[in-house]
Amino acid sequence: MRSMNRKKPSYYDHDGFLMPIGFPIEGFISALRYQAQPSDVFLVTYPKCGTTWTQYILWLMQHQGEPLSPSEKLEDYIPHLEEIGKETIEKLRQPRVIKTHFPRQLTPYHPAAKYIYVARNPFDCVVSFYHHTRGFIQHYNFADGTFDDFFECFIRGEVDFGDYFDHLLPWYEYRDEENVLFLTYENMKADLRPIIIKIANFLGGDYLNCIENEEIINKIIVNSSLKSMKKDQQRWSSKRPKNMPPFVRKGKVGSWKDYFSLKQQQRLTEKFKIRTAGTALETLWPKIFKT
C-alpha cells in the first residue's frame, strides 16, 4: 500500500526507454541515428558513475593538463550525444570525443571507434542518482522525493537510461575487447595516475604526449581533483538550484551507508547477486561484496 503512494520522478517514456523530461526528445531520436566514425572516442557511463570527472580528465589530457578557461565549456568539446543530437556532433572536427549514457545496444558502434566505460558500484550510484534527480527540478520534478522513493524506482530499473545492470553487464562482457577500456570510479579514486597512463596507452596518438611528462600528469591529477572541481561548481552544472546539493557533491566511495536501511542493503545485494551470477563482477567491489 505504501509503495502506491511513493513519489516518482517524471520521465519521458520512449518505447519503454525512460529519459529525463527536461531532455529534448528530438536530441534522443537523432542521437540514435548517429553513425560512429572510426576515429570516435565514446565515453560511456550509466548516470552518476564518474562521467564528468572522466570527461574532464580526457579534456585535460588533450590540453597538457591546463584547466578550462572561464569562457570555455566542457560540453562544447565533449558533448552529450543524446542531449544535443547527431547534427551538432557531426559539426565537430574529427577526432571526436562523445559522452553518452546510452546502453550498449543503443550506443553507436564502429569496430575502429574506441569506448571508455566507467562503472561505479550500484550502492553509491543510487545515492548519487537520487541527489541528481532531486536537484535537476526541471528535468524530473522530484525536488521533494525521498531516498526511499527513488530507491524503489532504481531497484526496479524504472529510472532514466534504464536498469543499472542492463547497462553494466554488456559492457563488462566486452571489457577485454581491443576497442574497450573498462574502468571503475573506485579505482580512479584509489589512484588516478595509473588510470591516466592506461587511458593514454589505450587512446594512443597525442594522448601519449601527456604521459611522457611527469609535470603534465601532475597537473591533470590536480586540476581534475575533487577539490579543484568542487571550487568550480557553476561550470559543471549551471542549472542546479542553490538549495540543492551541488553537482560535484561528496565524491566518495562508501557514503551509501548513510542512506541505506538494512533491508535496502539486502535487496540491492540480492539483485546484484541474481543479475551478475556467473560473472566476476563482484570482484570489482570487494569491500561491498566481501570476496
At position 273, the amino acid (one-letter code) is K
For residue 15, count other CB atoms closer than 10 A to its CB.
4
Is position 226 an interface residue for ligand A3P (rule: CB under 6 A)?
yes
Candidates 82, 83, 124, 160; binder of ligand A3P (CB under 6 A) is: 124
Q: Tell how far CA 24 is from the center of its chain.
A: 19
251 sits near ligand A3P (criterion: CB under 6 A): yes
**Residue 37 or 265 with smaller CB distance to ligand A3P:** 265
DSSP, res 117: E
Residues numbered 29-88 forming contacts with ligand A3P, rule: CB under 6 A: 45, 47-53
| Residue number, 38 or 241, with CB nearest to ligand A3P | 241
Minimal distance, residue 124 CB to ligand A3P, in Å: 5
**Is 139 considered catalytic here?**
no
| Placement of cell 542521437 in the chain | 31
Considering only residues 158 to 217 of the shown chain, the ones binding ligand A3P according to CB under 6 A are none
Strands of 97-100's sheet in order across: 97-100, 41-45, 114-119, 180-184
Q: Which of 101, 131, 132, 167 is catalytic?
A: 101
How far is the C-alpha of 277 from the C-alpha of 291, rounded, in Å? Answer: 14
- One of 250, 265, 275, 282 touching ligand A3P (CB under 6 A): 250
Kindly identify the residues of this chain, within the stretch 255-284, that bind ligand A3P according to CB under 6 A. none
In contact, 30 and 86? CB cutoff 8 Å: yes
131, 134, 167, 271: which one contacts ligand A3P (CB under 6 A)?
131
How far, in Å, CA of 183 to CA of 52, rounded? 14
Answer yes or no: are the C-beta atoms of 134 and 142 closer than 8 Å: yes
Residues forming the active site? 101
Residues forming contacts to ligand A3P in the complex (CB under 6 A) are 45, 47-53, 124, 128, 131, 224-226, 229, 248-251
